[in-house]
Amino acid sequence: MYSVFSFLLAGTLCLSMAACGGTPTPAEDETTSSAPLSGALPVKALQPKHVDENPYMAKSDANIHHDGYNTDSTDEILPLGIYPEINVSFETTNPNASPAIYFDNYGHAVVPLLGGIAIRDLNATETKTLGYFSPMQHDGGGYVIQSSYTFLDSKNRVVCPTSNNHVLILRTTEEDGSVIPEFEKVLDIDIK
């Protein structure tokens, strides 16, 4: 019994080794010899996606969601994997790195800051605040902005829910795109 099983196992092993050890065909030979010498892989172009722009949201190709419908589709080349340079900015004000970054029509980075919201220069050696709204400083405190649900509308205004069941609309830029140092509260809606 064992000898028959051993014989079948040895035969299967020999046939497998013979099949795997064949000589490469000319096409296989050509592929390996023409492969690039560097370790980088070529960029494979993807088919462009068509998602209608949301007319009520800020337009920015830098956003990963790319549209107000959160399709997670973008045709933009994002920083990691393509460009060899990564810029790092040193944070000294916020105790945590920004968990969410939004970009307005002018390319400004809108980020959470100490319970509020700010436009910050993330490309500087040390992160700089260009303009901000702090509930504690500008509105008597008692609440924070819920940055995970914040978005920018078509007029570059920040629409943000708060921890006290309000929705704020904040004007962040002048008409020419320059950042307002202290954001203006345009609307405060109590949704209780």
> Could you tell me the pLDDT band of residue 86, with boundaries at 50, 70 and 90?
low
Taking alpha carbons only, the member of 180, 170, 120 closest to residue 145 is 170
> Could you tell me the pLDDT band of residue 5, with boundaries at 50, 70 and 90?
low
Position 143 pLDDT exceeds 60 = yes
15-24, 132-141, 173-182, range with the lowest pLDDT: 15-24
The model's pTM: 0.59
Whole-number pLDDT of residue 45: 74
What is the token pair recorded at 40?
Answer: 């980088």
Q: 150 Cβ partners below 8 Å, 6+ apart?
A: 100, 102, 110, 112, 117, 158, 159, 160, 161
How far is it, in rounded angstroms, from Cα 113 to Cα 133?
A: 9
Whole-number pLDDT of residue 28: 46
Distances (CA, A) of 166 to 101, 113, 131, 169, 191: 21, 18, 22, 10, 6
Taking alpha carbons only, the member of 38, 18, 54, 52 closest to residue 151 is 54
